[in-house]
A and B are shown apart, each in its own frame.
Chain A
Amino acid sequence: MTLVYALTIAAYVGCGLYMMLSRHAVRMILGLALLTNGAIFLIFFSGGIGATTPPVIPQGAEALAADAANALPQALVLTAIVIGFALTAFAIALALKAYRSLGTLDVREMQDAERLGAPDLPLSTPVKNHG
């Protein structure tokens, strides 16, 4: 089973990295989402997966059952999912904004930040500064 888990994570991370290498902003965001999921699976598997009962203290009991699952990786995974969700939402909003104001999602054509203060800029070109 371990091999299956490892291959699953490898597939996620591999696909994610491949997408990250793209020059298209949306593909990069999809790649990031895949990578995040790969990392989340890794946390989940490093916490140990087995036939265990959920880590909820039963009615009347004082402590977790002996065969209860480890609650910590679940908390970590939940946190990571929430953070991944927020960052993906932000990245999508940013990409949309970039498309609307720059007119492209190809990072090769995004040169505005470079142009602001490029060393080889001729002096006559008006340099747009922030206000």
Chain B
Amino acid sequence: MLACRQLSKTYRTERGDVDAVVELDLEVEAGCYAAIIGRSGSGKSSLMAMIGGLSRPSGGTVTIDGTDIWRLGDDALARFRNGRIGFVFQFASLLPTLRLVDNVALPAMLGGARSSASTYDKASALLARMGLRDRVDAYPSEVSAGEQRRAAIARALINDPVLLLADEPTSDLDEQTEIEIMDELMGVNRELGTTLVLVTHNLALAEQAEQIVHIANGVLVA
């Protein structure tokens, strides 16, 4: 389902080039829950950004469901991200001027495939699934960090993605909320069959994954 071949990322800095990911090969089966672990600066977020079509690799390929995503043009890649990949970031990633329901509906509205009414129905249903039925009309600043993260998961699911990428989605949450958020993510993986790739430095979370990818200095360790 997901295949990376000879994937590399080099950042050019004033002090010279920095290799974040070096000729990395990786495969993740459809419906699998994979965890990418490593210390800070190991290159795991750079790897996820390349997998998600957010950061152009310096070399190598990323293939999702048979599509070599970095061979797509800008607009085609944007459409691919919109329709096939869901993102949950490590920060509160909701647009502050939109209500939760607008935030969740936004990717579908950007894609333009569905009518506004059905998009909003689905957005409300997803928020309800995440336990936010009564917070649909609230603005991000009016809900807790945990609720914001749940809304972000709902947004990631609005276009029925085949791949859900979560980049340290619980790093700034308390332990109880972290458990709840992880339950939601794994529930999506189990119940909807969505492939889940989680980037974390929390070994306890990684141990629940079916596949663990350990990176150090941009290189696959195990």
B and A form one assembly: no
Binding site for B on A (CB under 8 A): none
